[in-house]
Amino acid sequence: MAQTLELLTHRTETMRSIRGIVRTMKTMSAINARPYEQAAHAIEAYRETVLDGFHAFLHRNGPLPDEPDQGAVPVIIAFGSDHGLCGNYNEVLAEEVALGMDDPQATRVICVGAQMEDALIGQGIPPEETLLPPATADGLARLASSLITRLDAVRRSSATGAITVSLVFMQRTAYGQQTPETRRLLPLDPVLIGALAKRPWTSRSLPRFSLPPDRLLAALIRSYLFADLYRAAAEALVTENAARLARMSQAEQSVDEQLEALTAETRSVRQSEITTELLDVIIGFEALKDRDRRKKRREQGAPASAENMG
């Protein structure tokens, strides 16, 4: 169907407006990801300090006893998106949650992100509670503390007083790609704790503590949970903005291609209209010339006829 020049101009202006919106979203995604990336790096120093505390505790009190998983309530914390324009980000994470549920009936799911809740319900996994992700990097600490409070509540309500906790979030990989990751949070990683227990104490002074061992261990575990929850939340928000940036880049490329096609079609229609107008002018000019020739012939023929009659 042929389109008029006015319609093509209107469509071109609309596409340029859309391109401006897409470019703004692309810029915002790049800007928003930076503070969360810095927060993810910053929490690593805190986590290393907590691990040094574990090292000192283990050196003084010996290795920790193994904690059996029998009777422990499984808990999964899924860090998703609360905004759109990031593709199938939440759906992929929901599938990862479903794969990690050994006992769907007993597993309690805590969700971060309203759209993540919808994706989980789509998998037949209604979350027990849904939290909103932080709007800025300053809210990461509040989110991590809130999650620890909810884990404490689940542990207290458990018949055995024991829980296992797994984190599901999107992790960055090479070449700007992303992949869902399931990370075990509780019980503590035996490989990590074993490595800390075997590490020699290199300081000249031996570690000493003012707190009782049980209270100190509880404080260390709580700090370790805070660091890992904080890091997972920050990583999830970095990858969410990266996913949105990738989608906006694709959208920008698609809009540019449509703009090129519209520009070419507009030029073609404009050229056709110009050609039609020129033809109309030429035809009109030729018609005028033909009329003038006929009029001139009639005027030249009229005197000759009058002379013949005389």
Q: Which pLDDT tens digit goes with each residue over 213-225?
A: 889 988 999 999 9
**pTM value?**
0.79
Rounded Cα–Cα distance for residues 128 and 117 (Å): 10
- Burial class of residue 191 (count of CB atoms within 10 Å of its CB; 0-12, 13-18, 19+): exposed
> Where do the domains of the chain lie?
20-248
User: How sure is the predictor about 302, in pLDDT bands with cuts at 50, 70 and 90?
Assistant: low
Between residues 69 and 84, which one has the greater pLDDT? 84
Q: Residue 101 carries which DSSP code? A: -
Q: What average pLDDT does range 106-132 have in this prediction?
A: 92
CA–CA gap between residue 93 and residue 168 (Å, rounded): 7
Please tell me the distance from the alpha carbon of residue 40 to that of residue 286, in angstroms, as a whole number.
79
Pairing of strands 108-112, 129-131: parallel
- Res 223: pLDDT: 94
pLDDT of res. 280: 84
pLDDT (0 to 100) of residue 81: 86
Q: Convert the pLDDT of each residue in 97-118 to its tens digit.
A: 999 888 888 899 999 998 999 9
Q: Say if residues 225 and 166 touch (Cβ distance below 8 Å).
A: no
What average pLDDT does the structure give for the chain?
86
Q: Are 266 and 9 in contact (CB under 8 A)?
A: yes
Distance CA 249, CA 87 (A): 12
pLDDT above 80: residue 136: yes
How far is the CA of 110 from the CAs of 97, 114, 150, 170, in angstroms? Answer: 11, 11, 9, 16
Name which residue leads in pLDDT, 292 or 41: 41
- The pLDDT of residue 310 is above 60: no
Higher per-residue pLDDT: 10 or 79: 79
So what CATH class is 20-248?
A: alpha beta
Structure confidence at residue 144 as a pLDDT band (50, 70, 90): very high
> CA-CA distance, 225 to 166, in Å (whole number)?
11
Question: Tell me, what DSSP letter sits at residue 160?
Answer: S
Q: The tokens of 57 are what?
A: 């505790």
* 162-167: average pLDDT: 91
Q: Work out whether strand 73-79 and strand 163-172 pair parallel, antiparallel, or are unpaired.
A: parallel
